[in-house]
Structure 1
Amino acid sequence: MKYLLSILLTLFLSPALTKAQFMIRGSVMHRSGAIAHATIQAHTVTAVADEAGNFILRELPAGKTALHISAAGYGEKDTTLELRSDTLLTIQLERLAPDMQEIVVSGTLKAVSRQDSPVPVEVYTARYFKANPTPSLFDALQNINGVRPQLNCNICNTGDIHINGLEGPYTMILIDGMPIVSGLSTVYGLSGIPQSLTERVEIVKGPASTLYGSEAVGGLVNIITHKPGNTPALSVDVFGTSWRELNADLASGFRVGKKLRGLAGINYFNYSSPFDHNHDGFTDVTLQHRVSVFNKWELDRKNGRLFSLAGRYVHEDRWGGEFNWNKKFRGGDSVYGESIYTRRWELFGAYELPVKEKMQLLFSANGHDQNSAYGMIPFDARQYIGFLQLTWNKTLNRHDLTSGTALRYTYYDDNTPATATQPERTWLPGVFVQDEITLNENNKLLAGLRYDYNSIHGSILTPRLNYKWNSPDKNNTLRFSIGNGYRVAQVFTEDHAALTGAREVIFMEALKPETSWNTNINFVKRIYTTSGGMIGLDATAFYTYFNNKIIADYDSNPKEIRFQNLSGHAVSRGVSLNLDLALISGLKLLAGATYMDVYSVEDQVRTRQLFTEKFTGVWNIGYQFPKWGLSIDYTGNVYSPMRLPLLSDTDPRPEFSPWWSIQNIQLTKKIGPELELYGGIKNLLNWTPGRGLPFLIARANDPFDKQVQFDADGKAAVTADNPYGLTFDPSYVYAPNQGIRGFLGIRWNRTAFKK
């Protein structure tokens, strides 16, 4: 009966309530300009400011209205006004020291301000990546100092992420703190992560095995997805390029009932027009058709406890090869092509236990199914990973304790001899503990220890120690860390390059887990100008020493890739510097440079690592013209020479790549509070790796080696038809093979929605 009365009252009173509803339209500003993406809350209505700081709050009741305004990097503000009509409002926020409001979780497994974290964590927001829009996270990371997306094949365009010169298997990719991308998906899963679901990316450089286990030797990339409660009601982002690429992102935040909030997103990418600008008869870039669907839910629980559940599904069809290839040639030996069908699903979530202590359960599961043909070599593989982790956080006086236990199960099976007798099943239980000790207001010490038991390799112990000092004004921060890491060989990760040529994988021995010791020193300095600008400096020196490093030998035999543990040692060392400049005039600059030396030593012979530059630099320069609603962004990177694999002593290609650079420019125009147009030019210098070379792909005219003659040792012989003694091989690759192109896009955000 009471529900019926409520309904009747609502029906009778709704006209009156409708008449008493008003709107607040306004902007969030700082003396240096507009504040983008600020959150404005009033009653049950939430709005997110656009790039120009503008927002709209609709359907507000008359009377006293309390507003809460917050934005990353700025002090929060509360204000109250009497609402009796539609209102125009300007809100001023004061800037805090950078990092003070940036909350990170990757360094210590708990949410802390970036400034307070004893572990240096780099944070890049979705706004940063919009300066150079790309269809996937893999491409987006190209303008982060010390991080490089590395292409591993000229034909299928497989790739991985290098951190400070260490190859992809040393980098752990997380989504919301969970190891979603690993093993098989390290190669093909990265391109399926769209920017549309990314709120920010956190990067930790150096071993993180104490908290995250295997694969986090070189560092980790943690993709933090949007929270449903902070997502616009509807956002659309579509762009295309002069190479006939099309990328579309659609996302929506919504509420179901009073306690359940949701986020749904879909990404569509299509590139189906092949180009052969270098005239070698092969596609310059892999053709792709990809759909990625993402859904995330959050439940409002008692006492603000967390419960979130998310899922993602990716379907991709990609191929590269001879220009006249089509699917009827798939798996045959008449026209060469590399065709990969990928189906991938992921489910992951977090649940805070309903107990007095702060305990949280993380869980995830994913499956990766791949059906491939590399020329006439078929490759079918399946990988399933399950993950559980329970953490407990307890504060006792000056001690902030975090402990936990984790369990990871990996199932892997393919059609190669590696799993011919039975699929590979790996159990990896582990326990860890860390203690963050506040010595005083300006000094912190963090000590951690992890124990894992790998069902194949046995017990593994990984300790770490971190120290942080900051000046009383928080403008100077010094961090020192030392830690141990380990890595277990992943079958597909180690041998996938062999499938794209005539190379055979040879495991010279039963591979042992790699171990490493890393130390780094990080110093951050902030300088504030009298006019309200800010200059930030972030310098790091790093050193990593490896035992049992797994080495891929491309040089001993051009028909093989030999894997074995290094009997000597390997070193990765270097220095990096980031410069962050923001002026009241509207100029923003983020630039960085890294110098590194990565090599191995065996039998007193020092060998420089393949595919690794000594110097890299990146920049992101932006300028705003508020009067015209216009902004310009100039982004780019530059790399020094890398050592590349040659196939014979007579191979005419140089052993080292030249200096090279990819540069981009973009203009963005605001049209009203919810719409913006953007466009520009990518690869302004029209740089491609084949420039100045006799060829990029070896023996592209004979991809099945039908005309190659071999000597008694199995090596290609020099003949009139093969003057350099080569076999077909696409592994001589160090840069994207896509030239200059224009792009044009549109973004539309419906920024106000009912919370």
Structure 2
Amino acid sequence: MKQIILAIALFYLIPYSCYSQSILIKGKVLFQGEPVEYANIYVKGKGKGAVTDSQGSFTIALNETGSFTFQASMVGFQTSQQVVELLNSGNSDLVFNLKEMDGGLDEVVVSGTMQEVSKLDSPVPVEVYSANFFRANPTPSVFESLQNVNGVRPQINCNVCNTGDIHINGLEGPYTMVLIDGMPIVSGLATVYGLTGIPQSLIDRIEVVKGPASTLYGSEAVGGLINVITKKPENAPLASADFFSTSWGEMNLDVGLRSNWGKKIQSLTGVNAFYYDNPIDNNGDGFTDVTLAKRISLFQKITVARPENRLFTMAGRYVYEDRWGGQMGWSAADRGGDEVYGESIYTSRWETFGIWQLPTQEHLNLQFSINGHNQNSVYGTTVYNADQYIGFSQLTWTKTAEKHGLLVGLTYRYTYYDDNTGATAHLETDHNAPSKIHLPGVFIQDEIKLTPSQSLLLGLRYDYNSIHGNIFSPRVNYKLSSSDKNTTFRLSAGNGFRVANVFTEDHAALTGARDVVFAEELKPEKSWNANANLVKKIFTDNGTFIALDGSAFYTYFTNRIIPDYETNPNQIIYANLDGSAVSKGFSLNLNAAWANGISFTAGGTLMDVSIEEEGIKSRQLLTERFSGVWSVGYEFFRLGLTLDYTGNVYSPMRLPLLGPLDDRPEFSPWYSLQNIQLTKKVGEKWEIYGGVKNLLNFTPPANSIARAFDPFDEGVLFGPSGNVVPTPGNPNALTFDPTYVFAPNQGIRGFLGVRFTVSD
């Protein structure tokens, strides 16, 4: 009898003791054999999880035995699952080998030093945004996608044709260099028109460098650079498609295809198409709220397998766009006429770029890019036709010694620009005289490893501009990291320069609403910049990851070119600033991830951008003092749903008024653009997503276009000096003007889309 009682007791007690004992499950998450940090590990149905540390390791405690499904996920990678039978001991050999979804580890950057390095090891602070970051708020162009990047703001420059540029830390678009795969192909005319038509299905990541990068990249990289990195063919999906439409009637399609041309050539083909042909005037000013556009973009990239793994990659892109905005009754028959006002732009642009590693013992790379841009446009009755061709080549030599990483480069850039304005007319003969600029240069950079945790980067560049002469650009960067690399401090200082072309960079000069006046021959702008950056990563015991990234920046300009809208409301006066301009401020980024599937990113930038001339200090037009962005994501593991809530907020900006009688507010209001999206995975290949954009339905005031009812100024009286004379029909002395713009005119709208991906 005693034996029976003992047996029954053991029958109940043994399972109970196994159930109550904490079982530790340990493992690692790897990519191509390397540890992956910040990956989320989740035990389905148990609400348990962890985040991997810098070694890719994780530990999860469970209080029961049985069969469990472990899931590893991370932005940029395919979700991986394993089913594990747990008895009474932990599995210490649980290993997840992740496969790429978007083509690469976010921790590899190239923009800061022109060489692929770990983001942690880069002495230059580089912000990296994966393709999945932008999927939280899908848009038809890179221009719109950047609205959720801290310190970066897409600025609409015209209420009629909706062209714009990218501001970094308060500096306008011409101060930002945009590159594709490290090649400076987006410049000149494309500063305004070239940020659309890049197939987003082919984008691996976007790298952002804030502050002068002229030492490596030359002119235009004064405020910073945006480097669009496309996928490597070997890492891209076999086929992908992404289509979405909005309740306003916009439709966007992205298609990507990977193929092999024989045994040694891999190809990546992309197509982007955008269509919007639904005139809407919700604010009742008689003009289209959003520009109508038809756009097609073709992209082709190939890589060739060469002996000793030498690199050869070549790519090309062609973009054609037909866009117009204007009075609601406008049609193509009214193009250039004076009865119905419209702004119509035909853009045709081609680009080719690549890199070839020379077959030598030394590491020599030849990079090249060539692009052509043709624009046929009218702004009311003002016709603007232009052609621009830019050729760029660069030969770099890299050499690594015990404590030195040397980079030496020879560059040459040729710019041809011709238009139908006085900018390319010979002053004496009035004959056409296209602008031709030769810009040879040389640069050297040395990254010195002072200690295992400290490095110093020194750089110097010399360029000779065939019009403006010698230009020098030095820089210095210092980095200090803690032994566990969870804390990194960077200090940077450098010089930037920019040679300006008003007609290719400032859309306001082309609208025809104002006369363009050059008070003097424009000289190159110069700037000095200092930046301090601190990054802190925190791992908690409950699987939470937090990263803080703070920067303080200061930029001082001389010879800055400031368009003067206020001296004469009927003119834009361009001249070099007889004084100084300063952009200074502080920015902070926060990234956090919890094991339960919640991820959170947020950022804020507080800045002061001012101009001082003749002892008078003023605030720069169209520049906010504060901006903030956020993105909140939550994954419902059991339902296969992902919820994304994104948004931004901007403080008031000083706006261009048309004189002392203009009764419109001098400053814009606080405003916020917010979006929400749900994404549902259907099997391994399909995704369905949808949501609402501009949840608060914010739009600028209806009087943003001055005298929208009189676009040809038929009811405006001008005085002898060209100033507007107040009349009973025009008591505020206004002229037709679309430059009073600070936010998109497009209100709330729904969207629905579908994605299809075949990995192998």
Q: Do they superpose with TM above 0.5?
A: yes
Cα root mean square deviation, aligned: 2.3
1:735 equivalent among 726, 738, 743:
743
Moved more, 334-343 or 255-264: 255-264
Q: Give the Cα–Cα distance (whole angstroms) in 2 for the partners of residues 201 and 336 of structure 1.
A: 38
Whether the 8 Å contact between 1:72 and 1:102 is mirrored in structure 2 is no
Deviation at 1:491, TM superposition (A): 3.3
Specify the alignment match of 1:518 in structure 2.
529
Specify the alignment match of 1:326 in structure 2.
331
1:124 equivalent among 129, 132, 146:
129
Q: Aligned pairs, how many?
A: 678
Whether the 8 Å contact between 2:157 and 2:507 is mirrored in structure 1 is no
Specify the alignment match of 1:428 in structure 2.
439
Specify the alignment match of 1:221 in structure 2.
226
Matched, 1:584 2:589: no
Specify the alignment match of 2:415 in structure 1.
410
Alignment gaps of 5+ in structure 2: 1-35, 50-68, 81-92, 427-432
Specify the alignment match of 2:518 in structure 1.
507
Give the residue type in structure 2 aligned to 1:415.
N
Distance 1:54 1:342, change over 3 A: farther
Q: Give the Cα–Cα distance (whole angstroms) in 1 for the partners of residues 313 and 505 of structure 2.
A: 34
Alignment gaps of 5+ in structure 1: 1-27, 36-51, 56-68, 77-88
Matched, 1:201 2:206: yes
Pairing 1:186-585 to 2, within 5 Å after superposition:
186-421=191-426, 422-585=433-596
Q: Give the Cα–Cα distance (whole angstroms) in 1 for the partners of residues 43 and 521 of structure 2.
A: 60
SS of residue in 2 equivalent to 1:129: helix
Matched, 1:171 2:179: no
Specify the alignment match of 2:41 in structure 1.
31
Whether the 8 Å contact between 1:217 and 1:485 is mirrored in structure 2 is yes
Matched, 1:650 2:661: yes
Percent identity between matched residues is 61
Specify the alignment match of 2:704 in structure 1.
696
Output one character per residue of 1:324-360: Cα deviation in whole Å (capped at 9) or x when no partner. Answer: 0000000000000000000000000011111111111
Distance 1:282 1:33, change over 3 A: farther
Give the residue type in structure 2 aligned to 1:528.
F
SS of residue in 2 equivalent to 1:210: helix
Specify the alignment match of 2:96 in structure 1.
92
Deviation at 1:496, TM superposition (A): 2.8
Deviation at 1:650, TM superposition (A): 1.3
Distance 1:562 1:750, change over 3 A: same
Distance 1:107 1:386, change over 3 A: same
Matched, 1:746 2:737: no
Moved more, 192-201 or 599-608: 192-201
Whether the 8 Å contact between 2:598 and 2:634 is mirrored in structure 1 is yes
Distance 1:260 1:294, change over 3 A: same
Output one character per residue of 1:589-645: Cα deviation in whole Å (capped at 9) or x when no partner. Answer: 010000000011111100110110000000011000111110000000000000010
SS of residue in 2 equivalent to 1:106: coil
Output one character per residue of 1:667-719: Cα deviation in whole Å (capped at 9) or x when no partner. Answer: 000000110100000000000011xx6x1100111100011111233211111
Specify the alignment match of 1:83 in structure 2.
none
Deviation at 1:54, TM superposition (A): 9.8
Distance 1:718 1:71, change over 3 A: closer
Specify the alignment match of 1:45 in structure 2.
none
Q: Give the Cα–Cα distance (whole angstroms) in 2 for the partners of residues 706 and 195 of structure 1.
A: 45
Give the residue type in structure 2 aligned to 1:533.
T
Q: Give the Cα–Cα distance (whole angstroms) in 1 for the partners of residues 285 and 677 of structure 2.
A: 31
Output one character per residue of 1:364-410: Cα deviation in whole Å (capped at 9) or x when no partner. Answer: 10000000010011100000000000111001110110011110100
Specify the alignment match of 1:86 in structure 2.
none
Output one character per residue of 1:498-531: Cα deviation in whole Å (capped at 9) or x when no partner. Answer: 2224211111111111111100100000000112
Whether the 8 Å contact between 2:382 and 2:512 is mirrored in structure 1 is no
Q: Give the Cα–Cα distance (whole angstroms) in 2 for the partners of residues 745 and 194 of structure 1.
A: 16
Specify the alignment match of 1:612 in structure 2.
623
Output one character per residue of 1:300-322: Cα deviation in whole Å (capped at 9) or x when no partner. Answer: 11111110010000000000000
Which TM-score applies when normalising by structure 2? Answer: 0.87
Q: Give the Cα–Cα distance (whole angstroms) in 1 for the partners of residues 512 and 98 of structure 2.
A: 58
Whether the 8 Å contact between 1:364 and 1:388 is mirrored in structure 2 is yes
Q: Give the Cα–Cα distance (whole angstroms) in 1 for the partners of residues 740 and 320 of structure 2.
A: 28
Output one character per residue of 1:13-70: Cα deviation in whole Å (capped at 9) or x when no partner. Answer: xxxxxxxxxxxxxxx98524799xxxxxxxxxxxxxxxx9999xxxxxxxxxxxxx99
Pairing 1:702-713 to 2, within 5 Å after superposition:
702-713=710-721
Deviation at 1:171, TM superposition (A): 0.2
Whether the 8 Å contact between 1:245 and 1:270 is mirrored in structure 2 is yes
Deviation at 1:226, TM superposition (A): 1.1
1:634 equivalent among 637, 645, 648:
645
SS of residue in 2 equivalent to 1:31: strand
1:718 equivalent among 722, 726, 746:
726
Q: Give the Cα–Cα distance (whole angstroms) in 2 for the partners of residues 73 and 235 of structure 1.
A: 15
Q: Give the Cα–Cα distance (whole angstroms) in 1 for the partners of residues 372 and 731 of structure 2.
A: 46
Distance 1:631 1:141, change over 3 A: same
Moved more, 296-305 or 313-322: 296-305
Whether the 8 Å contact between 2:41 and 2:71 is mirrored in structure 1 is no
Q: Give the Cα–Cα distance (whole angstroms) in 1 for the partners of residues 70 and 396 of structure 2.
A: 38
Whether the 8 Å contact between 1:30 and 1:92 is mirrored in structure 2 is no
SS of residue in 1 equivalent to 2:192: helix
